[in-house]
Amino acid sequence: MNFSRAIGRMAADTSGVWDVHDEACALKANGEDIILFSIGDPDLPTLDITVDHAIASLKAGRTHYSPGAGEKPLRQAIADIESRASGRATAIDQIVIHPGGTNAIFTTLSCFLDEGDDIVIPTPMYVGYQGLLAAVGANVVHVPLDANDNFSLDVDAVKKAFTDRTRVLFLNTPGNPCGNFIGEEQLRELAAFCLERRVWIVCDEVYSMITFGRRHVSLLKAAASLENVVVIDALSKSHSMTGWRMGWTVSSQDTARRILAFASATIFGCCQFVQDAAAFALQNDEEYMRAIADEYRVRRDYALERINAIPGLSANRPGAGMFIMLDVSQVAPDGLEFAQGLLRHGKVSVLPGVAFGETTRQFVRLSLTHPVHIMSKAFDRIERFAGSRLAGSTEQEARNGDMR
Ligand SMILES: Cc1ncc(COP(=O)(O)O)c(C=O)c1O
Protein backbone atom coordinates (compact mmCIF):
# COMPACT_ATOMS: atom_id res chain seq x y z
CA MET A 1 0.00 0.00 0.00
CA ASN A 2 1.09 3.57 -0.61
CA PHE A 3 1.47 6.13 2.12
CA SER A 4 1.50 9.90 1.80
CA ARG A 5 4.70 11.83 1.16
CA ALA A 6 4.18 13.56 4.50
CA ILE A 7 4.25 10.37 6.55
CA GLY A 8 7.16 9.14 4.47
CA ARG A 9 9.13 12.20 5.55
CA MET A 10 7.94 11.98 9.15
CA ALA A 11 8.77 8.29 9.53
CA ALA A 12 12.17 8.61 7.86
CA ASP A 13 14.04 9.81 10.96
CA THR A 14 17.01 7.47 11.31
CA SER A 15 19.11 9.73 13.50
CA GLY A 16 18.74 7.48 16.55
CA VAL A 17 18.86 10.46 18.88
CA TRP A 18 16.20 8.99 21.14
CA ASP A 19 17.88 5.57 21.35
CA VAL A 20 19.75 6.40 24.55
CA HIS A 21 16.60 7.75 26.18
CA ASP A 22 14.52 4.77 25.05
CA GLU A 23 17.12 2.34 26.35
CA ALA A 24 17.25 4.25 29.64
CA CYS A 25 13.46 4.03 30.01
CA ALA A 26 13.55 0.28 29.32
CA LEU A 27 16.32 -0.24 31.91
CA LYS A 28 14.41 1.85 34.44
CA ALA A 29 11.24 -0.15 33.82
CA ASN A 30 13.34 -3.25 34.57
CA GLY A 31 14.11 -1.85 38.01
CA GLU A 32 17.57 -0.41 37.33
CA ASP A 33 18.60 2.75 39.18
CA ILE A 34 18.61 5.07 36.14
CA ILE A 35 18.44 8.87 36.43
CA LEU A 36 16.66 10.40 33.43
CA PHE A 37 18.07 13.76 32.41
CA SER A 38 17.03 13.27 28.81
CA ILE A 39 13.47 14.59 28.58
CA GLY A 40 11.83 17.94 29.28
CA ASP A 41 8.84 16.82 31.31
CA PRO A 42 8.78 18.78 34.59
CA ASP A 43 8.88 16.70 37.78
CA LEU A 44 6.96 19.47 39.56
CA PRO A 45 3.24 18.72 39.87
CA THR A 46 0.44 20.82 38.43
CA LEU A 47 -0.82 23.12 41.18
CA ASP A 48 -3.45 21.41 43.40
CA ILE A 49 -5.96 24.25 43.02
CA THR A 50 -5.75 23.90 39.22
CA VAL A 51 -6.42 20.16 39.47
CA ASP A 52 -9.33 20.81 41.85
CA HIS A 53 -10.74 23.37 39.42
CA ALA A 54 -10.59 20.86 36.56
CA ILE A 55 -12.37 18.24 38.68
CA ALA A 56 -15.10 20.70 39.66
CA SER A 57 -15.49 21.68 36.02
CA LEU A 58 -15.73 18.03 34.96
CA LYS A 59 -18.36 17.40 37.62
CA ALA A 60 -20.27 20.45 36.42
CA GLY A 61 -20.63 18.72 33.07
CA ARG A 62 -18.06 20.72 31.10
CA THR A 63 -17.47 17.78 28.79
CA HIS A 64 -19.00 19.00 25.54
CA TYR A 65 -17.77 20.52 22.28
CA SER A 66 -16.09 23.86 22.67
CA PRO A 67 -15.88 26.75 20.17
CA GLY A 68 -13.07 26.25 17.63
CA ALA A 69 -11.15 29.30 18.84
CA GLY A 70 -11.49 28.27 22.47
CA GLU A 71 -13.55 29.21 25.51
CA LYS A 72 -14.00 32.96 25.96
CA PRO A 73 -12.82 33.18 29.61
CA LEU A 74 -9.54 31.46 28.70
CA ARG A 75 -9.01 33.61 25.62
CA GLN A 76 -9.78 36.71 27.71
CA ALA A 77 -7.29 35.63 30.41
CA ILE A 78 -4.63 35.17 27.72
CA ALA A 79 -5.49 38.46 26.00
CA ASP A 80 -5.10 40.23 29.37
CA ILE A 81 -1.72 38.61 30.02
CA GLU A 82 -0.42 39.36 26.53
CA SER A 83 -1.67 42.97 26.73
CA ARG A 84 0.16 43.47 30.03
CA ALA A 85 3.35 41.79 28.84
CA SER A 86 3.54 43.48 25.46
CA GLY A 87 2.04 46.88 26.23
CA ARG A 88 -0.03 46.34 23.08
CA ALA A 89 -3.80 46.01 23.56
CA THR A 90 -4.59 42.42 22.58
CA ALA A 91 -8.18 41.48 21.80
CA ILE A 92 -9.81 38.13 22.40
CA ASP A 93 -10.25 37.50 18.67
CA GLN A 94 -6.48 37.55 18.21
CA ILE A 95 -6.21 34.42 20.35
CA VAL A 96 -6.81 30.83 19.23
CA ILE A 97 -6.53 27.94 21.67
CA HIS A 98 -4.77 24.73 20.62
CA PRO A 99 -4.19 21.37 22.30
CA GLY A 100 -0.56 22.13 23.24
CA GLY A 101 2.24 24.22 21.83
CA THR A 102 3.14 21.52 19.31
CA ASN A 103 -0.28 21.64 17.71
CA ALA A 104 -0.26 25.44 17.75
CA ILE A 105 3.00 25.33 15.75
CA PHE A 106 1.69 22.72 13.32
CA THR A 107 -1.50 24.67 12.69
CA THR A 108 0.40 27.92 12.21
CA LEU A 109 2.97 26.46 9.81
CA SER A 110 0.20 24.69 7.88
CA CYS A 111 -1.41 28.07 7.25
CA PHE A 112 1.80 29.58 5.83
CA LEU A 113 3.81 26.88 4.06
CA ASP A 114 3.42 24.71 1.01
CA GLU A 115 5.67 21.75 0.27
CA GLY A 116 9.13 22.94 -0.80
CA ASP A 117 8.86 26.47 0.63
CA ASP A 118 11.85 27.69 2.63
CA ILE A 119 11.64 28.19 6.37
CA VAL A 120 14.61 29.80 8.11
CA ILE A 121 15.35 28.53 11.64
CA PRO A 122 18.27 29.20 13.97
CA THR A 123 19.93 26.05 15.32
CA PRO A 124 20.32 24.37 17.72
CA MET A 125 16.55 24.09 17.59
CA TYR A 126 14.02 22.18 19.71
CA VAL A 127 14.08 18.56 18.56
CA GLY A 128 10.27 18.42 18.23
CA TYR A 129 10.31 20.85 15.30
CA GLN A 130 11.77 18.19 13.02
CA GLY A 131 8.59 16.13 12.79
CA LEU A 132 6.45 19.23 12.31
CA LEU A 133 8.67 20.52 9.53
CA ALA A 134 8.58 17.11 7.87
CA ALA A 135 4.78 17.10 8.15
CA VAL A 136 4.43 20.39 6.28
CA GLY A 137 7.22 19.46 3.84
CA ALA A 138 9.12 22.70 4.23
CA ASN A 139 12.71 23.08 3.12
CA VAL A 140 14.60 23.99 6.29
CA VAL A 141 17.38 26.57 6.11
CA HIS A 142 19.42 26.45 9.32
CA VAL A 143 21.27 29.44 10.75
CA PRO A 144 23.73 28.45 13.48
CA LEU A 145 23.63 30.26 16.81
CA ASP A 146 27.03 31.26 18.21
CA ALA A 147 28.08 28.51 20.64
CA ASN A 148 31.05 30.66 21.74
CA ASP A 149 28.78 33.51 22.77
CA ASN A 150 26.17 31.70 24.87
CA PHE A 151 24.26 30.73 21.69
CA SER A 152 23.46 34.27 20.63
CA LEU A 153 21.66 35.04 17.38
CA ASP A 154 23.43 36.79 14.51
CA VAL A 155 20.74 38.91 12.86
CA ASP A 156 22.81 39.48 9.72
CA ALA A 157 23.33 35.73 9.27
CA VAL A 158 19.56 35.25 9.51
CA LYS A 159 18.96 37.92 6.86
CA LYS A 160 21.57 36.35 4.58
CA ALA A 161 19.77 32.99 4.77
CA PHE A 162 16.66 34.45 3.06
CA THR A 163 15.93 33.51 -0.54
CA ASP A 164 12.98 34.32 -2.77
CA ARG A 165 11.44 31.01 -1.61
CA THR A 166 11.52 32.02 2.08
CA ARG A 167 8.01 32.08 3.51
CA VAL A 168 8.64 31.85 7.25
CA LEU A 169 11.27 32.86 9.78
CA PHE A 170 10.78 30.67 12.85
CA LEU A 171 12.27 31.81 16.15
CA ASN A 172 12.29 30.39 19.66
CA THR A 173 12.98 32.66 22.61
CA PRO A 174 13.82 31.82 25.33
CA GLY A 175 15.37 28.91 23.48
CA ASN A 176 15.30 25.18 23.97
CA PRO A 177 17.90 23.66 24.34
CA CYS A 178 20.22 26.60 25.18
CA GLY A 179 18.12 28.93 27.37
CA ASN A 180 19.28 31.83 25.15
CA PHE A 181 17.31 35.02 24.53
CA ILE A 182 16.67 36.93 21.34
CA GLY A 183 16.72 40.61 22.30
CA GLU A 184 13.99 43.17 21.68
CA GLU A 185 16.04 45.10 19.13
CA GLN A 186 16.87 41.92 17.22
CA LEU A 187 13.21 40.89 17.16
CA ARG A 188 12.16 44.34 15.99
CA GLU A 189 14.72 44.38 13.22
CA LEU A 190 13.83 40.89 12.02
CA ALA A 191 10.10 41.56 12.13
CA ALA A 192 10.57 44.67 9.97
CA PHE A 193 12.91 42.81 7.58
CA CYS A 194 10.34 40.02 7.21
CA LEU A 195 7.43 42.41 6.71
CA GLU A 196 9.30 44.22 3.96
CA ARG A 197 9.72 40.85 2.17
CA ARG A 198 6.16 39.64 2.94
CA VAL A 199 7.62 36.80 5.03
CA TRP A 200 5.93 35.46 8.18
CA ILE A 201 7.77 35.62 11.47
CA VAL A 202 6.65 33.05 14.02
CA CYS A 203 8.03 33.00 17.56
CA ASP A 204 7.75 30.07 19.95
CA GLU A 205 7.77 31.53 23.46
CA VAL A 206 6.81 28.50 25.58
CA TYR A 207 9.60 29.23 28.10
CA SER A 208 8.61 32.90 28.45
CA MET A 209 7.57 32.42 32.08
CA ILE A 210 10.67 30.50 33.28
CA THR A 211 13.39 33.16 33.30
CA PHE A 212 16.27 33.79 35.69
CA GLY A 213 16.80 37.52 36.16
CA ARG A 214 16.62 38.81 32.61
CA ARG A 215 13.06 39.38 31.44
CA HIS A 216 11.71 37.82 28.29
CA VAL A 217 10.55 40.27 25.63
CA SER A 218 7.84 38.98 23.35
CA LEU A 219 7.83 39.44 19.60
CA LEU A 220 4.36 40.93 20.25
CA LYS A 221 6.05 43.83 22.02
CA ALA A 222 9.00 44.17 19.67
CA ALA A 223 7.26 44.05 16.28
CA ALA A 224 5.98 47.35 14.93
CA SER A 225 3.08 45.58 13.18
CA LEU A 226 1.38 42.23 13.73
CA GLU A 227 0.54 41.85 10.05
CA ASN A 228 3.14 39.08 9.56
CA VAL A 229 3.52 37.92 13.18
CA VAL A 230 2.38 34.88 15.16
CA VAL A 231 3.45 34.18 18.74
CA ILE A 232 3.01 30.75 20.29
CA ASP A 233 2.87 29.98 23.98
CA ALA A 234 1.67 27.10 26.16
CA LEU A 235 1.11 26.06 29.77
CA SER A 236 3.11 22.85 29.43
CA LYS A 237 6.38 23.98 30.98
CA SER A 238 5.53 27.15 32.89
CA HIS A 239 2.67 25.53 34.80
CA SER A 240 3.91 21.92 34.79
CA MET A 241 0.92 20.97 32.63
CA THR A 242 2.55 18.98 29.83
CA GLY A 243 -0.14 16.30 29.80
CA TRP A 244 -3.06 18.74 29.77
CA ARG A 245 -2.21 19.83 26.21
CA MET A 246 -2.90 23.56 26.34
CA GLY A 247 -1.36 26.15 24.05
CA TRP A 248 -2.34 29.25 22.10
CA THR A 249 -1.48 31.54 19.22
CA VAL A 250 -1.57 35.34 19.21
CA SER A 251 -1.66 37.15 15.87
CA SER A 252 -3.56 39.83 14.00
CA GLN A 253 -7.31 39.23 13.82
CA ASP A 254 -7.08 38.47 10.12
CA THR A 255 -4.37 35.82 10.64
CA ALA A 256 -6.29 34.41 13.61
CA ARG A 257 -9.28 33.80 11.32
CA ARG A 258 -7.12 31.61 9.03
CA ILE A 259 -5.56 29.81 11.99
CA LEU A 260 -9.05 29.25 13.36
CA ALA A 261 -10.22 27.79 10.03
CA PHE A 262 -7.42 25.21 10.14
CA ALA A 263 -7.86 24.48 13.85
CA SER A 264 -11.64 24.11 13.53
CA ALA A 265 -11.27 21.63 10.69
CA THR A 266 -8.53 19.53 12.30
CA ILE A 267 -9.21 19.76 16.07
CA PHE A 268 -12.83 20.91 16.31
CA GLY A 269 -12.31 22.57 19.69
CA CYS A 270 -10.30 21.73 22.80
CA CYS A 271 -11.47 20.04 25.97
CA GLN A 272 -13.80 22.32 27.98
CA PHE A 273 -12.72 21.36 31.50
CA VAL A 274 -9.05 21.65 30.58
CA GLN A 275 -9.67 25.15 29.26
CA ASP A 276 -11.54 26.06 32.45
CA ALA A 277 -8.56 24.85 34.51
CA ALA A 278 -6.12 26.68 32.23
CA ALA A 279 -8.02 29.98 32.61
CA PHE A 280 -8.05 29.47 36.37
CA ALA A 281 -4.32 28.66 36.39
CA LEU A 282 -3.45 31.80 34.45
CA GLN A 283 -5.45 33.98 36.83
CA ASN A 284 -4.07 32.45 40.02
CA ASP A 285 -0.49 31.71 39.18
CA GLU A 286 1.62 34.60 40.42
CA GLU A 287 3.09 32.87 43.46
CA TYR A 288 3.43 29.56 41.66
CA MET A 289 5.24 31.13 38.72
CA ARG A 290 7.76 32.73 41.04
CA ALA A 291 8.26 29.44 42.89
CA ILE A 292 8.74 27.49 39.66
CA ALA A 293 11.28 29.94 38.23
CA ASP A 294 13.12 30.00 41.59
CA GLU A 295 13.28 26.21 41.70
CA TYR A 296 14.71 25.96 38.15
CA ARG A 297 17.19 28.70 38.94
CA VAL A 298 18.41 26.81 42.04
CA ARG A 299 18.81 23.69 39.89
CA ARG A 300 20.61 25.58 37.13
CA ASP A 301 23.02 27.14 39.62
CA TYR A 302 23.68 23.78 41.27
CA ALA A 303 24.29 22.11 37.89
CA LEU A 304 26.71 24.86 36.79
CA GLU A 305 28.60 24.68 40.08
CA ARG A 306 29.06 20.92 39.69
CA ILE A 307 29.93 21.10 35.97
CA ASN A 308 32.50 23.84 36.51
CA ALA A 309 34.22 21.61 39.05
CA ILE A 310 34.51 18.62 36.68
CA PRO A 311 37.69 18.65 34.58
CA GLY A 312 36.98 18.21 30.88
CA LEU A 313 33.36 19.45 31.03
CA SER A 314 31.93 22.91 30.50
CA ALA A 315 28.49 24.40 29.96
CA ASN A 316 26.72 27.48 28.74
CA ARG A 317 24.80 29.60 31.25
CA PRO A 318 21.11 29.38 30.35
CA GLY A 319 19.14 32.49 31.21
CA ALA A 320 15.80 30.69 31.05
CA GLY A 321 14.07 27.36 30.61
CA MET A 322 14.84 23.97 32.06
CA PHE A 323 17.93 22.69 30.23
CA ILE A 324 21.71 22.94 30.27
CA MET A 325 23.99 22.18 27.33
CA LEU A 326 27.09 20.33 28.39
CA ASP A 327 30.15 20.55 26.15
CA VAL A 328 31.78 17.09 26.21
CA SER A 329 34.32 17.64 23.42
CA GLN A 330 37.29 17.11 25.77
CA VAL A 331 36.14 13.71 26.98
CA ALA A 332 34.31 12.15 24.02
CA PRO A 333 34.36 12.23 20.21
CA ASP A 334 30.78 13.55 20.26
CA GLY A 335 27.67 13.88 22.40
CA LEU A 336 26.15 10.62 21.19
CA GLU A 337 29.15 8.57 22.25
CA PHE A 338 29.23 10.38 25.61
CA ALA A 339 25.50 9.74 26.17
CA GLN A 340 25.84 6.04 25.32
CA GLY A 341 28.85 5.64 27.62
CA LEU A 342 27.27 7.60 30.46
CA LEU A 343 24.16 5.43 30.37
CA ARG A 344 26.20 2.21 30.26
CA HIS A 345 28.72 3.14 32.94
CA GLY A 346 26.98 5.84 34.96
CA LYS A 347 23.27 4.99 34.62
CA VAL A 348 22.37 8.58 33.74
CA SER A 349 20.59 9.34 30.48
CA VAL A 350 21.15 12.62 28.61
CA LEU A 351 20.15 13.68 25.11
CA PRO A 352 22.91 13.87 22.45
CA GLY A 353 23.29 17.44 21.20
CA VAL A 354 23.00 16.42 17.56
CA ALA A 355 19.26 16.05 18.22
CA PHE A 356 19.14 19.85 18.00
CA GLY A 357 21.37 20.21 14.95
CA GLU A 358 25.00 20.02 13.88
CA THR A 359 25.99 23.09 15.96
CA THR A 360 25.69 21.05 19.15
CA ARG A 361 27.10 17.68 18.02
CA GLN A 362 29.79 17.95 20.75
CA PHE A 363 27.19 18.63 23.44
CA VAL A 364 24.63 16.74 25.44
CA ARG A 365 21.49 18.27 26.91
CA LEU A 366 20.63 17.84 30.57
CA SER A 367 17.09 18.54 31.79
CA LEU A 368 16.67 20.31 35.10
CA THR A 369 13.78 18.04 35.95
CA HIS A 370 15.03 16.57 39.23
CA PRO A 371 15.42 18.13 42.67
CA VAL A 372 18.95 18.95 43.82
CA HIS A 373 19.40 15.80 45.94
CA ILE A 374 18.87 13.63 42.85
CA MET A 375 20.98 15.95 40.70
CA SER A 376 23.74 15.55 43.26
CA LYS A 377 23.69 11.76 42.79
CA ALA A 378 23.61 12.16 39.00
CA PHE A 379 26.53 14.59 38.98
CA ASP A 380 28.58 12.24 41.17
CA ARG A 381 28.10 9.64 38.44
CA ILE A 382 28.82 12.12 35.63
CA GLU A 383 31.99 13.21 37.45
CA ARG A 384 33.21 9.61 37.79
CA PHE A 385 32.42 8.86 34.16
CA ALA A 386 34.06 12.04 32.80
CA GLY A 387 37.06 11.40 35.08
CA SER A 388 37.48 7.89 33.73
CA ARG A 389 37.29 9.20 30.15
CA LEU A 390 39.84 11.88 30.85
CA ALA A 391 42.16 9.38 32.59
CA GLY A 392 41.69 6.99 29.65
CA SER A 393 42.62 9.63 27.07
CA THR A 394 45.65 10.74 29.16
CA GLU A 395 46.88 7.12 29.30
CA GLN A 396 46.31 6.81 25.56
CA GLU A 397 48.27 10.02 24.93
CA ALA A 398 51.10 8.72 27.13
CA ARG A 399 51.13 5.43 25.21
CA ASN A 400 51.17 7.36 21.91
CA GLY A 401 54.08 9.41 23.32
CA ASP A 402 56.00 6.20 24.22
CA MET A 403 55.44 4.88 20.72
CA ARG A 404 56.72 8.13 19.24
C1 LIG B 1 10.62 25.13 22.43
C2 LIG B 1 9.45 24.22 22.58
N3 LIG B 1 8.35 24.46 21.87
C4 LIG B 1 7.27 23.67 21.97
C5 LIG B 1 7.27 22.58 22.81
C6 LIG B 1 6.07 21.70 22.86
O7 LIG B 1 5.17 22.18 23.82
P8 LIG B 1 3.85 21.38 24.15
O9 LIG B 1 4.21 20.31 25.14
O10 LIG B 1 2.94 22.40 24.73
O11 LIG B 1 3.33 20.79 22.89
C12 LIG B 1 8.39 22.29 23.57
C13 LIG B 1 8.44 21.10 24.41
O14 LIG B 1 9.45 20.65 24.90
C15 LIG B 1 9.52 23.13 23.45
O16 LIG B 1 10.62 22.91 24.16
Q: How confident is the model at residue 272 (pLDDT cuts 50, 70, 90)?
A: very high
What pLDDT does residue 328 have? 97
Q: Ligand 1 in contact with 102 (CB < 6 A)?
A: yes
Span from the CA of 293 to the centroid of ligand 1 (angstroms): 17
Q: Ligand 1 in contact with 100 (CB < 6 A)?
A: yes
- Residue-wise pLDDT for 365-403, tens only, equals 999 999 999 999 999 999 999 999 888 765 665 666 544
What pLDDT does residue 391 have? 81
Span from the CA of 295 to the centroid of ligand 1 (angstroms): 20
Span from the CA of 237 to the centroid of ligand 1 (angstroms): 8
Beta bridge partners of 144: 123
Asked if residues 237 and 206 have their Cβ atoms less than 8 Å apart, the reply is yes
For all residues of the chain together, what is the average pLDDT? 94
d(CA 323, CA 306): 15
Environment class of residue 150 by beta-carbon count within 10 Å: exposed (0-12), middle (13-18) or buried (19+)? middle
Asked if residues 252 and 227 have their Cβ atoms less than 8 Å apart, the reply is yes
How do the residues of the chain divide into helix, strand and coil, expressed in percent and rounded to 5? 50, 15, 35
Atom of ligand 1 nearest to the CA of 105: 4
What pLDDT does residue 404 have? 45
d(CA 260, CA 103): 12
- Residue-wise pLDDT for 325-369, tens only, equals 999 999 999 999 999 999 999 999 999 999 999 989 999 999 999
What pLDDT does residue 14 have? 65
Q: How confident is the model at residue 88 (pLDDT cuts 50, 70, 90)?
A: very high
Domain annotation for the chain: domains and CATH numbers: 5-45+287-389 (3.90.1150.10), 48-285 (3.40.640.10)
Residue 40, amino acid: G
Pocket test for ligand 1, best of 106, 151, 204, 206 (most atoms within 8 A of CB): 206
Q: How confident is the model at residue 12 (pLDDT cuts 50, 70, 90)?
A: confident
Nearest to 266 by CA among 75, 129, 127, 135: 135
Report how far apart, in Å, the C-alpha atoms of 47 and of each of 43, 125, 205, 287, 294 are. Answer: 12, 29, 21, 11, 16
Query: What percent of the chain has a predicted confidence (pLDDT) above 90?
Result: 89
Q: How confident is the model at residue 197 (pLDDT cuts 50, 70, 90)?
A: very high
Is the pLDDT assigned to residue 58 strictly greater than 80?
A: yes
Q: Is 148 or 167 the better-scoring residue by pLDDT?
A: 167
pTM, two decimals, is 0.94
Asked if residues 158 and 166 have their Cβ atoms less than 8 Å apart, the reply is no
d(CA 68, CA 263): 7
Residue 139, amino acid: N
d(CA 205, CA 175): 8
Span from the CA of 206 to the centroid of ligand 1 (angstroms): 6
For the chain, how many helices (H) and strands (E)?
14, 13
- Residue-wise pLDDT for 345-355, tens only, equals 999 999 999 99
In this prediction, residues 285-306 reach a mean pLDDT of 93
Q: Residues near 63 by Cβ (< 8 Å), separated by ≥ 6?
A: 272, 273
Span from the CA of 205 to the centroid of ligand 1 (angstroms): 9
Query: What percent of the chain has a predicted confidence (pLDDT) above 70?
Result: 97
268 SS3 class: coil
